[in-house]
Structures are given as C-alpha cells and as structure tokens.
Amino acid sequence: MATTESSPLQSSIKSVTPPIDSSTHIYALINYKDTYVQPLLLIALQKCLPRSSYTLIKSQSELPSQAVNYLHIGTYEDLPFEYIMSHVTTSLTNAYIIRKALIRKHYLSTTAHNWITKYPTSILQTNIKVSCEFELDYPEFLDDAIVEAWELQQSFKNNVGKNAADREWWILKPGMSDRGHGIRLFSTQAELQAIFEEWEALRSDSDDELGNDELCPNTSSNFNHEDRNKLITSDLRHFVAQLYISQPFLLRENPRKFHIRTYVLAIGGLKVYVYHEMLALFSPLKYTPPWDDLSSGDISAHLTNTCLQTGNHDGSVQLLTTLDLPAALKTSIYDQIDHISGEIFEAAARGMLVHFQTLPNVFEVFGLDFLVDEAGTTWLLEVNAFPDFQQTGHELQEVVSGLWEAVVATAVVGFFGITPNSFCKLAREKMRLVKDIKLRG
C-alpha cells in the first residue's frame, strides 16, 4: 500500500507556487493508496492539465480557502463526502456515496429484475442470467431460506431424474464477498445443502487459518480451493444463486474459460462511458463442464479471477483485441457491452434511487465483468467498485495508464472547465459515451 509521503514523481510535478488565477486553478489531493495506480494518476494529471493549472497538496487543510477548486482522488474511506456535498460547483471526487444497486450482487439482481419488469424489451432481459437471493444462518434451515426462490425451486424440480449434463446448473455467490471467494456450483438441492453443511463444519477454524480476506490470497503458495471455501464461513449469510453459463465461448487454441473486464466511467447524474481497451482474464486450467469435475471440489477451471491463481500467471490476462475472434463476433461483443453497460446504470439510477444516488460533482471508475457463451451472447456477471487494477499486471500497465488519462481528460478537465490540450483530446477518444441522461444529481 502506498504511503502519504510525497514520492519523487509527486515532488517533480508539484507547483512552485506561481501567480494563481483562483477562478480556474485546482488544488489536487491524490492519495489512492495503491503503488500500482498512484504514479499513473499523477502522470495522467501532468499530461492532461496545463502545468500552471493545479497544485498538489497532501491534506485538505492546505486549501487556502473553501472557495477554491478542489480535486480529491483517494480511497472510498478517505473521501471528504461532507465537504464534497457542500461544495458542488467547486469540488470533485472519485466515488459516489451510495451505489449498492450496482456493486452488491444481491442488489444488482434486483436492479435488473425491477427494470425488465417495467421494460420487458430491455437488453437486461436477455443478457443477465436469472438470479435468486436468500439469507441463511444454518444449513438445516435451507428449505425455509429458498421458499421464495421460485426460479431455483422450479429448476430443482426440472432437474429431477436428469443426467448431470442435462441439468440446469447454478453458481452460488456470497452476496458481500469479492475476488471469487466462496463461489460454488450446484444443480440439485442436495448439492446446495452439502455446500452449506461443509462450510458449517469448517466454521470453527476458518478465521485462524486465513486471517484478513481483504487481501489477495495469491500471495500465499499454500492457498487452495479448500481455503477459498473457508473464507466465507464466519459471518456472510446473504447469498445469490444465479444460473450458470456452463457452455462458455472458448478459444480453439486456448480452451480455458475467460471473462472480459471492462472499465466504465460514470460522471455526475448521469453520463456513462466505456473505456475502449478491454481485458480477457483466463482461468488457470482447461475448461471442463461442472458435471465432470464437481466431485473433486476444485473449481479452478471455472474461476477466471487471477487474484485466486497461484504460481505463474503468464497468459492469464490478455488484451481482448489480441484474441483470435471472428470479426463479426468481436464487433457484436463490443456492441453488447456498450448497450448493457449503459442500460444497467440507467436501471440503477432511475429504478433504484435509494441504492444508487448520483451527485453532480462525482465521477467513478467501475470494473464490469462479462462472459461470452458459445452462441456469442455477452452476459453481465457483476459490477465492481474500486476494481483491482494490479490484476492487469505490469506487461499491460499501459491499459490502466491510458484509462486514467482518459478519466482525467473526460471527468476532471470537463468539470473544471479547463481548455483541453491536444493530448487530452486524444485521451478522450478512448472513451465511448453509452448513456447520457438527466437526473437530479
């Protein structure tokens, strides 16, 4: 994690206090607390903003007055929301206060369901898999917990008497977990029951063995699928069961499952942009359908989150543009991603007002994950706030640097009314506007 001390790069960028035009000058506090992202942010500012247009500061107390222009980019916990909300025309920060409608799995499914109920022809009807949410404290109460999970109950009935390969399969996700923790696959109620009974048996020693689950567990060479299961046994009791895409699109020369990471920029209330460079994140093993490997308990072939992979990650993260995809399929994927991204943000902003509240002086970068099935349909999997950019790795770091340059050029320059330079104009071209609606915020 980065410290708040000034780095050589930050020192070299900082102003030498020239005469300042207070009407346009920006005081910028940049403290992302991520050694991968922090220098990229500072470079993006340097490239996109005129040298005399901003001063870097280390603390909000360094602001000469509360009337000056103030840019604060940092971690969610450190953002000065009270100040931001009381200075809507002169301050800008990098996260909405409330956006659970998008970033919490159980809220996201509700967001989509509410929207397609009102707009049945929405792309969310065809490009987000059916989900059921439920709460469970103890395995013996599973029957009661899923009594209102109609789609799940019907699927269990339809699967009776079928071979495993002919069943509908489901993926279980703890509602508050991330980085792939606690994910399991099942097709019958008995299999779902067994999952919870296994977790219950592991409850007593999970905390001692694993420690802080906020950290990426791939730093330990001993991390395995059993450890991953134990992560959620302490206090996560809200779950989402979603129809599983058991037949994903696979590359002929590299038949590993992959998902697409797309960076989406939301600004104010509300413009939504999709960053044109996307990543393909691969599982560590050749894909096999769930009915072939479920008995082993190791579902690594189904998990494309590189944070969970141990050892060498060569080839696990690639540019989507470099994959050997048919031209028509590639175009279709981009079009679907643009459409879905704009639609899900509008669904949250208009249909889930309590759980996604836009503000005019806020922008935020989200990481959206998509999966393409063998028929070419692109499915939205989840929306992540403060995405883990380090999973991109150093070889593709220019993707993240280009993203932040585009973010500064689009969100920061636009908000403070700075005349864009030539670099800024080029950086803006990396963003595609996919939704522009007028809300209260």
pLDDT confidence of residue 214: 33
**pTM (2 d.p.):** 0.87
Looking at the fold, whether 51 and 177 belong to one and the same domain comes out as no
Lowest mean pLDDT among 63-72, 215-224, 349-358, 384-393: 215-224
pLDDT confidence of residue 312: 47
Last residue of a domain, one of 244, 274, 301: 244
CA-nearest of 347, 404, 340 to 46 is: 404
- The answer to whether residue 20 is domain-embedded is no
| Domain of residue 257, residue span | 96-129+247-440
Looking at the fold, whether 197 and 303 belong to one and the same domain comes out as no
218 pLDDT tier (thresholds 50, 70, 90): very low
pLDDT confidence of residue 12: 44
CA distance 335 to 323: 17
Last residue of a domain, one of 244, 267, 293: 244
CA-nearest of 289, 269, 297, 262 to 432 is: 262
Looking at the fold, whether 418 and 315 belong to one and the same domain comes out as yes
Contact 241/152 with Cβ under 8 angstroms? yes
Last residue of a domain, one of 217, 244, 271: 244
Looking at the fold, whether 117 and 159 belong to one and the same domain comes out as no
Buried b / exposed e along 81-110 (16+ C-beta atoms within 10 A): eeebeebeebbbbbbbeebbbbbbbbbbbb
313 pLDDT tier (thresholds 50, 70, 90): low
Task: Please say if the pLDDT value at position 326 is more than 60.
Answer: yes
- The answer to whether residue 223 is domain-embedded is no
- The answer to whether residue 43 is domain-embedded is yes
- Measure Cα distances from 398 to 229, 306, 403 in Å: 34, 18, 8
Task: Please say if the pLDDT value at position 5 is more than 70.
Answer: no
Q: Look up tokens 């950019």; give the residue.
A: 389
CA distance 115 to 90: 34
Looking at the fold, whether 118 and 184 belong to one and the same domain comes out as no
Task: Please say if the pLDDT value at position 31 is more than 70.
Answer: yes
- The answer to whether residue 342 is domain-embedded is yes
Task: Please say if the pLDDT value at position 429 is more than 60.
Answer: yes
Contact 320/369 with Cβ under 8 angstroms? no
Q: What's the mean pLDDT in 95-110?
A: 95
298 pLDDT tier (thresholds 50, 70, 90): confident
pLDDT confidence of residue 2: 45
Q: What's the mean pLDDT in 251-272?
A: 97
Contact 338/274 with Cβ under 8 angstroms? yes
Q: What's the mean pLDDT in 291-312?
A: 72
Contact 326/257 with Cβ under 8 angstroms? no
Looking at the fold, whether 237 and 271 belong to one and the same domain comes out as no
CA distance 132 to 125: 15
Domains in the chain, number: 3
In the chain the first and final C-alpha atoms are separated, in Å, by: 33
- The answer to whether residue 44 is domain-embedded is yes
CA distance 283 to 259: 9
Contact 70/26 with Cβ under 8 angstroms? yes
The conformation of residue 185, written as its DSSP 8-state character, comes to E
pLDDT tens string 126-172? 999 999 999 998 889 999 999 999 999 999 999 999 999 999 999 99
pLDDT confidence of residue 11: 45
Task: Please say if the pLDDT value at position 68 is more than 60.
Answer: yes
Looking at the fold, whether 110 and 143 belong to one and the same domain comes out as no
Looking at the fold, whether 289 and 418 belong to one and the same domain comes out as yes
Using CA of residue 103, residue 416, residue 269, residue 332, what is the dihedral sign?
A: negative
Q: Please name the residues in contact with 154: beta carbons below 8 A apart, sequence gap of 6 or more.
A: none
Reduced to 3 states (helix: H, G, I; strand: E, B; else coil), residue 275 is strand
Lowest mean pLDDT among 161-170, 173-182, 190-199: 173-182
User: Considering the chain, what is the average pLDDT of its residues?
Assistant: 87
Contact 281/382 with Cβ under 8 angstroms? no
